Structure 1
Amino acid sequence: MHRLILKFSKKPPKYSLTSLFFFRPIFSYATLAAVNHLEVPPNDVSSAIFTRLINFNCGDKRGFAKRLGRDPEFNTLISGLSAPEVDGILEKLRIKYPETALDFFFLLKNEYDFKHSRDSCISIAHVLARKERFRALKLHLLQMVHLEGSGSAPSLCELLSNGFRESDFSHTVWDMLAFAYSRSGMVHDALFVLFKMKDLNVQASIMTLNGLLYNLRLTDVMWDMNDVIKASGIRPSSYTNSIIIDGLCRQSLVEEAVAFMQEAEKEESGPRIVWLNNLMTGFCKLGFVNVAKSFFCIMHKCGLLPDTYSYNILINGLCIAGSMEEALEFTSDMEKHGLEPDIVTYNTLAKGFSLLGLMSGAWKVISLMLYKGLNPNLITYTILICGHCQTGNIKECFKLREEMLSRGMQLTNISYGVMISCLCKRGNVNEALSLFDEMKTIGLEADVVIYSILIHGLCKQGRLHHAIHLYKEMCLERVMPNLFTQRSILLALSEKGTIKEARRYFDTLMHCDLLEDIGLCNIMLYSYAKVGYMDEAIQLYRMILEKGITPTVVTFNSVIYGFCKSRRLADARIWLNAIESHGLVPSAVTYTTLMNAFCEERDMQAMFKLLKEMEARAIEPTHVTYTVVIKGLCRQRKVKEAVGVLQDMFAKGVSPDEISYNIIIQSLCKTQDMKRAFQLHDEMLLRNLQPNHVTYNILINGLCVRGNLKDAEKLLASLQDQKVRLTKVAYTTLIKALCAKGNVHKAIVLFHQMVEMGYQVSVRDCSAVVNRLCKRHLMSDAKAFLRLILQCGIALDQQICSVLRNNLYRIHDKDMMVQLLALMVKCGFDRG
């Protein structure tokens, strides 16, 4: 027993191990001893009450409490009683008049709200034990333990040992006290009582030992408790074995649970259905549903009829595994064996469909449940709300919310949480905040998850001040921010605010000893690196080491990125070597960052040296690494080798992205190898890689540079037919090329298309067309184009107005000249 207490005390809830044995009681032992030997005070009040109680005891005892309560003289006497006087009266009554002692005790407690002393409470416990009123004794001690609280066992044990050692029913009270502590979850106190019982040679009941075993079933101390039960000489009950099997399954020790059950079967002449249910739960929890089904078969072989709980375990396991058809089959089998699916069954099926995003299936289950006469409960609605949030159907969630309110139900924290999360993901943060306010109005407390979701949503929208306000409210509500919340705030400050604000918040976390996560340090380091504040970054790095926070590869990657961005490549190379001094291995990101920096500096030799070093360390290059290599080769005009790298990527199972292809396509267009460029474009489509707008801008520009305007026009028209969304660059590139070739009318048509498609057109986009029209003396077209410009609301510049004015003057178009001069005055241009 002593070993059990020592082992369990490794994780004490509220006090240390030594406090179990040297616990300071609330009263001194001398005081307690004095109370135990207290005599009835020789005063008239105590004597009068005692006499009155005896007289009532001798008469008709029916309605004892009511008759005493209606006695005005008794009420007057009671109002002046003190706790020691009551202790004295009860001490005299409990031996000769136990029933009167009980009546008097509970009358004072229930009718007069009298606060009895510990002595009185323990005294009455012995009376209840003597009268074999065990249910009342259990309730009485549970209430007493609840009032005394955790850590009260040593003083209560002292009181029991000193004052009631000679009582014939003391062993029952000891046992019930240990049970009460165990049932109340005060395991250390229960173990202390057991330890004292062992000293007094008082045997604990199997009920008490099972209660403690149940509380310890999630720890390895469970086995020590089982040894205590065996050593006590009491035969373990079927419930004892059930607790151990359940504990092993909850600890995911299912193999040990099976072995234990096989041993227990020998004593019990076969398994119990509760054991098999526990095993099925354990295996389903680990995802081994087929193994769980084998235990279901064992039930039938052993003549045990599976109950509704057994079926629900398997149905739940199958639903989690996504085997909905088999889950429905088990539900039908359940009905064939005369068992009606209950609300848990239908909720489980609805949850299974919801997890798969099959809300139509979930609603069919609900319809069947209603047909069977079962009404949806709070769990049902929560499952449906979570399911619809998962599929993004927030409107249906609000409908369910209204239905719940109409039925007098209130959403749970979980329902509010998933709805708030769904709204934030969709960008509807204001609606999420409204739900949050509603949640607080009805008295539900928001947890750290809900606060974090809202703060993250506000930060993503750049609403930094609102996010910080909510963060402060969270702290005032004594909800401790988690790392997710802190990272959201720090990221938002560094991206949307200023780096000084970010550092101020970072320092606040550091001074409050909340800075234990290297992730927050990495965010701050990267913020410095991004803007090139490398002195501050190095200073922060040194502070991290002083604080005892271990840096990660990400930490070094941020510093290396900063040096690369500042073009201090020699320093970046030094920090690459420093990674190993901390027992870390550089990542692909580390090398790729450095390789890209050397590529930008056109130091291809250094770039390829890094690639070889990377391969020598068996660090797998990513598609970004290969893209950097491709960029380097293309800059050296080694397009053939770049294409070879592309093929190597596929051979190694690395999928290139559109950027990899675009770099090579652009190089081919520069060398006017349009045939090979379009071959690569087609290859992208064959590999299910969709070319982006950059790809088409490059191809259209390449065709225009080569003079293949018809092919460029065909490509643009084809993309328009395919509803491919292009950027304005594709149009302006072709417009300029058409103007350069003299195809002004086509350029104007294309310009019209660009305007109709809603692109924002600037004066630069117009200048090529205007200049070309004027040079070709197509003034009527120039005037029409000018009207189009003005209709689009484009602000003209001085240069275009001057070109138009000179040409209008030359052809003597006075009306148009007047309009143009008025426009120039309005715009504040020099009319020349």
Structure 2
Amino acid sequence: MSKMNTLLSRIKPLHHPKPISPSPIPFPPHFKILVKDIIQILSTHPHWQNSLETRFSDCETPVSGIAHFVFDRVRDPELGLKLYEWASKRSDVNDLLDGFSCSSLLKLLARCRVFVEVENLLETMKCKALAPTREALSFVISAYVDSGLVNRALELYHIANDIHKYPPDVIACNALLNALIQQKKVEIARKVYEEMVKRDGCWDNYSVCIMVRGLCKERNVEEGRKLINDRWGKGCIPDIVFYNALVDGYWKRGDVERANSLFKELKMKGFLPTTETYGIMINGFCKNRSFQAVDRLLVEMKERGLDVNVQVYNSIVDAQIKHGCKIEVRKTLRWIFENGCEPDIITYNTLISGSCRDGNVHEAEQLLEHAIKRGLSPNKLSYTPLIHVYCKQGKCVRALDLFFVMTEKGHPLDLVAYGALVHGLVAAGENDLRSALKLFGQMVKQKYKPNVVTYTSLINGFCRTGDSSRAEKTFEAMRSSGLKPNVVTYTILIGCFSKEGKISKASSFFELMLLNRCIPNDVTFNYLINGLTNNVATAISNKANESLEIKASLMMDFFRTMISDGWEQRAAAYNSVLICLCHHKMVNVAMQLRDKMTSKGIFPDPVSFAALLYGLCLEGRSNEWKNSISCKLNEREHQIAVNYSEKLNQLLPQGLTSEALKIFHTLLEGVKPHIQENNFIVPASNRS
């Protein structure tokens, strides 16, 4: 029985026969001479119009009776258009070209991909009520699909169905269906497929297979199986190609059990798995890190006499490296060679990448040399990992050498490699910052748009050399190009200006960071706190000149106020940062910072309380304040909190009042009255 099943599986499935074109009109011998003469006149005669007039005056055949033969035999669309335009201007009604002749011209124009002329002819035929033949319209649809103009092909498909009342042939329909699936327009493809099935002769086994493959790519495997069952015996006989699509679909969905079950089922039904089938299973098991199952499948392939191709070995090696397995390069290459397979450049690239990942640059270089000796052509994926690792190791000279070798061979660096090289050169010091700038310029010339990492690397380089002015200009160029600086970018600049004592500048970048919803980290906070506490005198003395340089800073304003009110420097610094965070609706980040300051022995005070309550109210979380912030304040501390809350209230748009201020006044009613207004008494723990 199993032998019978095996034999049956080898029988090729039935397909619908290709649609038969209309029987050609008989071609009398004297027509051959006439067609040949017309083509020669169109091709060679300078006064071809007169020559055509003379030639047709000598015969009884009208232009309309011979034109389609000419269109079918010329290869130059210009010749066909010349004859069409000449015939269109003739006064004899017998010479006017009919729909059949125009359809022949349509095929010629579509074959040569002159779609502007195709559209012009279709419009003219529409105006003259000339319908293109099914064959011609099918030909045009296929040509549009082949050229990637799928939307227009779809429009013509609907025109054929809805206006001309005949569907395109199965070849055109399948081409359109396949293109829609490739563009992931599965819903549109499903509608086209359903229309194809409704019309007998417009679909075949391949149509079903295309649709099944599309559904499986979208991980809708069950619908794909149902589609096969619905068409079984109705012109569709599933073969191994169907099973391959289904198995692949299960793997893409991560359904290991069903993929394995279906693989066993197809063998039990007598279908012979192909190299592609095993490749799908091996690739799936590799992603699942089931390397023992992979070994069993390799043995099974050999037993069935199937050759294991290099793509299968590449999948295995790539998976082993990605899963962190230890790879012995020599042993791996010997294993591939001994199994009768030749490693390709992808094999070497994968191994080079793995060696670079492990920091084994010498081994990676040897692999590159070995690939070249074997006649393989290295590409950017061969060089890029080496450039990356050399940059990380600070060996920028060698990285540049590889860069030049790579570009000389016609393999320009990709964006990531450029970024790595720029970063490596910046990290190497100031003779290399210049090199980085040159490389950056070359990168822009080659129309690579530098990313955030590349810009940030340059900014870091300028900051390290004390050139904060160029760092700031690079930052502005980065924003002008439409890129959003990240936390590293802002932190580098904040750190640079803080160390230079330009604390107002640092605070402006901090507030810009918050305005752009970029969340600071511990390094950012450390730079700011240290910058404020180490530059108190500068921060206060620069107040008069600050408005001339930069926009007034919220953080600096509160820091100066707190210093003036007698707050200890670090407490004033932390509170100023807390106020900024809360004002920009980052209360959760502010609470994390509050916990950090507490762990360092700087305990929350009335200003911390006012800032956090203000922030919670801004975020619409006023009902959470009792569970989020402590309220153990005495009478005078309440008054201090109220005064700072009133100052925060001034930051709101005119006419609005923070709910925090209302809460404070309610709290004040519960403490002893007769508090003198503006009687600021700083808690002893926070006095200077």
Indicate the TM-score class for this superposition, using the shorter chain for normalisation: 0.5 to 0.7
Q: 1:524 maps to what in 2?
A: 493
Matched residue SS, 2:520: helix
1:577 deviates by 4.4
Query: Is the contact between residue 560 and residue 590 of structure 1 (CA under 8 Å) also seen in structure 2?
Result: no
1:471 deviates by 0.7
Separation of aligned partners in 2, 1:344 and 1:124: 54
Query: Is the contact between residue 556 and residue 579 of structure 1 (CA under 8 Å) also seen in structure 2?
Result: no
1:219 deviates by 6.4
Separation of aligned partners in 2, 1:413 and 1:452: 14
Among candidates 500, 504, 508, match of residue 469 of structure 2: 500
Separation of aligned partners in 2, 1:517 and 1:386: 28
Cα distance change, pair 553–352 in 1 and its aligned pair in 2 (3 A): closer
The percentage of counterpart residues that share the same residue type is: 21
Q: How does 1:324-363 map to 2 (within 5 A)?
A: 324-356=291-323, 363=330
Partner letter of residue 528 of structure 1?
Answer: F
Which of 461-470 and 272-281 deviates more? 272-281
Cα distance change, pair 75–396 in 1 and its aligned pair in 2 (3 A): farther
Separation of aligned partners in 2, 1:142 and 1:581: 66
Separation of aligned partners in 2, 1:116 and 1:391: 65
Q: How does 1:117-196 map to 2 (within 5 A)?
A: 141=110, 143-144=112-113, 155=120, 157-162=122-127, 165-166=129-130, 170-196=133-159
Q: 2:341 maps to what in 1?
A: 374
Query: Is the contact between residue 216 and residue 224 of structure 2 (CA under 8 Å) also seen in structure 1?
Result: no
Matched residue SS, 2:389: helix
Query: Is the contact between residue 142 and residue 184 of structure 1 (CA under 8 Å) also seen in structure 2?
Result: no
Q: How does 1:425-824 map to 2 (within 5 A)?
A: 425-462=392-429, 463-515=432-484, 520-521=489-490, 523-529=492-498, 531-540=500-509, 550-554=516-520, 558=524, 561-567=527-533, 568=569, 569-584=571-586, 585-586=588-589, 590-591=593-594, 594-595=597-598, 599=601, 603=602
Separation of aligned partners in 1, 2:453 and 2:518: 18
Among candidates 206, 209, 228, match of residue 264 of structure 1: 228
Separation of aligned partners in 2, 1:615 and 1:468: 54
Partner letter of residue 504 of structure 2?
Answer: D
1:495 deviates by 3.0
Separation of aligned partners in 1, 2:413 and 2:111: 32
Among candidates 33, 40, 45, match of residue 58 of structure 1: 33
Partner letter of residue 95 of structure 1?
Answer: G
Q: 1:828 maps to what in 2?
A: none
Query: Is the contact between residue 346 and residue 366 of structure 1 (CA under 8 Å) also seen in structure 2?
Result: no
1:445 deviates by 2.5
Q: 2:566 maps to what in 1?
A: none
Q: 1:234 maps to what in 2?
A: 199
Cα distance change, pair 438–97 in 1 and its aligned pair in 2 (3 A): same
Query: Is the contact between residue 320 and residue 352 of structure 1 (CA under 8 Å) also seen in structure 2?
Result: yes
Partner letter of residue 66 of structure 2?
Answer: K
Cα distance change, pair 220–446 in 1 and its aligned pair in 2 (3 A): closer
Query: Is the contact between residue 119 and residue 159 of structure 1 (CA under 8 Å) also seen in structure 2?
Result: no
- Unmatched 5+ stretches in structure 2: 1-28, 89-96, 534-568, 613-624, 630-688
Separation of aligned partners in 1, 2:303 and 2:230: 33
Query: Is the contact between residue 346 and residue 369 of structure 1 (CA under 8 Å) also seen in structure 2?
Result: yes
Q: 1:299 maps to what in 2?
A: 266
Query: Is the contact between residue 513 and residue 519 of structure 2 (CA under 8 Å) also seen in structure 1?
Result: no
Separation of aligned partners in 2, 1:385 and 1:115: 56
Separation of aligned partners in 2, 1:469 and 1:615: 58
Separation of aligned partners in 2, 1:354 and 1:264: 38
Cα distance change, pair 57–380 in 1 and its aligned pair in 2 (3 A): same
Separation of aligned partners in 1, 2:283 and 2:33: 63
Partner letter of residue 176 of structure 1?
Answer: F
Query: Is the contact between residue 321 and residue 354 of structure 2 (CA under 8 Å) also seen in structure 1?
Result: yes
Separation of aligned partners in 2, 1:302 and 1:384: 39
Separation of aligned partners in 2, 1:556 and 1:367: 50
Separation of aligned partners in 1, 2:98 and 2:462: 65
Matched residue SS, 2:413: coil
Query: Is the contact between residue 153 and residue 192 of structure 1 (CA under 8 Å) also seen in structure 2?
Result: no
Separation of aligned partners in 2, 1:355 and 1:118: 63
Query: Is the contact between residue 564 and residue 594 of structure 1 (CA under 8 Å) also seen in structure 2?
Result: no
Q: Deviations over 1:722-746 (max 9, x none)?
A: xxxxxxxxxxxxxxxxxxxxxxxxx
Separation of aligned partners in 1, 2:361 and 2:150: 45
1:503 deviates by 0.6
Would you say 1:217 and 2:181 are equivalent positions?
yes
Query: Is the contact between residue 387 and residue 421 of structure 2 (CA under 8 Å) also seen in structure 1?
Result: yes
1:319 deviates by 2.0
* TM-score of the superposed pair, with normalisation by structure 1: 0.55
Separation of aligned partners in 1, 2:249 and 2:329: 26
Separation of aligned partners in 2, 1:118 and 1:321: 64
Separation of aligned partners in 1, 2:525 and 2:578: 10
Separation of aligned partners in 2, 1:220 and 1:369: 36
Separation of aligned partners in 1, 2:593 and 2:322: 39
Partner letter of residue 535 of structure 1?
Answer: S
Query: Is the contact between residue 564 and residue 572 of structure 1 (CA under 8 Å) also seen in structure 2?
Result: no
Matched residue SS, 2:411: coil
Query: Is the contact between residue 557 and residue 589 of structure 1 (CA under 8 Å) also seen in structure 2?
Result: no
Partner letter of residue 234 of structure 1?
Answer: R
Cα distance change, pair 379–219 in 1 and its aligned pair in 2 (3 A): closer
Q: 2:676 maps to what in 1?
A: none
Q: How does 1:43-122 map to 2 (within 5 A)?
A: 57-58=32-33, 77-78=44-45, 95-96=65-66, 98-103=68-73, 105-106=74-75
Query: Is the contact between residue 212 and residue 225 of structure 2 (CA under 8 Å) also seen in structure 1?
Result: yes
Cα distance change, pair 292–374 in 1 and its aligned pair in 2 (3 A): same
1:438 deviates by 1.1
1:562 deviates by 0.9
Query: Is the contact between residue 42 and residue 48 of structure 2 (CA under 8 Å) also seen in structure 1?
Result: no
Q: 2:357 maps to what in 1?
A: 390
Separation of aligned partners in 1, 2:204 and 2:252: 26
Separation of aligned partners in 2, 1:435 and 1:118: 59
Partner letter of residue 211 of structure 1?
Answer: A
Separation of aligned partners in 1, 2:35 and 2:326: 68
Separation of aligned partners in 2, 1:333 and 1:245: 27
Query: Is the contact between residue 350 and residue 363 of structure 1 (CA under 8 Å) also seen in structure 2?
Result: no
Separation of aligned partners in 2, 1:217 and 1:310: 21
Partner letter of residue 225 of structure 1?
Answer: A
Separation of aligned partners in 2, 1:583 and 1:207: 60
Q: 2:557 maps to what in 1?
A: none
Query: Is the contact between residue 487 and residue 518 of structure 2 (CA under 8 Å) also seen in structure 1?
Result: yes
Query: Is the contact between residue 383 and residue 406 of structure 2 (CA under 8 Å) also seen in structure 1?
Result: yes
Query: Is the contact between residue 382 and residue 415 of structure 1 (CA under 8 Å) also seen in structure 2?
Result: yes
Separation of aligned partners in 2, 1:158 and 1:202: 19
Query: Is the contact between residue 42 and residue 82 of structure 2 (CA under 8 Å) also seen in structure 1?
Result: no
